[in-house]
Amino acid sequence: MISIDDALNQMTACGVPNPGRSRMDPFENIYRDRSNDPITLKDDALALSCCAWRLRTTGGPEYWTFQSEDVLKAIIHDDHVHAQEIRNYYGKKILWLQLNNNRVSPFRTDLMSYIHQADPNIVTDKISGMIHKMPDFFQEDKILDRIKQLADTTPIQDSPPLNTPVVLSPVEIVLRRSKLSKVNNYWMLTGDKRLCQIEIPQPNPLEPLWLDLYNNSATITISGKFIPTCREDFNFYRVTNWKVEK
């Protein structure tokens, strides 16, 4: 019979990134060269997206498009309130990045243009994926804002040597989803308050063993490759090829 330690060690391949990609923008992976022809919807596109998100996260089908007639029929006042919260949040966030000379991708520039455009019912095929994902990104970013308050997010100058055991404290689990995939991001802190991220794609039959350890341990000792990564306005380690040390 396989031991718990052996089972956890079989999860080392989870979350292996593209080694050439050290900067992350959660919007970039859905940004494509697509049409800029206007599409006029019957309601606020972002509010429709919030409605689709609400239906999906309250027991509906896993995927709803905000251009669906079913979503249009289901929209309520709270979806418009949610959409305005998202507009306010990202309007301030992107403006802050610009004022502090942080990198702002073309995709975020398009987002800023959409937030401030006169007619919220008009979208393009090019930004439709962004609008669809905004409620998910908003939920994740609000959690990350809380996590970042616990950590040192300044630029990272060095990394632990490869496969050196590092003691980490569990902080929060964030689910990131797309139409085709789901990934659980497990966030942890080093002793010097650096954030670390371990990614586990869904489904993974061994994840319950890791989840039990994560939820019930004050600290977990991990060895692997700690990759300094910058995401917008904060820095952290992506941990790959990892294993749990005894």
> Residue 243 is encoded by which pair of tokens?
């294993």
The amino acid sitting at 228 is P
**Bridge partners of residue 198, in order along the sequence:** 186
Mind listing the domains of the chain with CATH numbers? Answer: 4-23+150-244 (2.40.50), 25-148 (no CATH)
Write out the two tokens for 83: 């959409």
For residue 58, give the DSSP letter: T
User: Residue ranges of the alpha helices (H) in the chain?
Assistant: 4-9, 45-57, 69-74, 77-99, 106-116, 125-148, 207-215
Q: Are 24 and 60 in contact (CB under 8 A)?
A: no
Give the integer Cα–Cα distance in Å for 238 and 198.
6
Please name every residue paired with 199 in a beta bridge, in sequence order, or none if there are none: 185
pLDDT tens digits for the chain (246 residues)? Answer: 444 455 555 554 443 333 333 444 444 444 444 567 788 888 999 999 999 999 888 876 666 677 788 888 999 999 999 999 999 998 888 888 777 776 767 777 778 888 888 788 888 887 888 888 899 889 988 999 999 999 999 999 999 999 999 999 999 999 887 667 789 999 999 999 999 999 999 889 989 999 999 999 999 999 999 999 988 778 999 999 999 997
| Residue of 109, 105, 98, 186 whose CA lies nearest to 147 | 186
DSSP letter assigned to residue 91: H
Helix and strand tally (H, E) in the chain?
7, 8
Please give the Cα distance from 46 to 58 (Å, whole number).
18
Dihedral sign (CA 52, 122, 138, 110) = positive
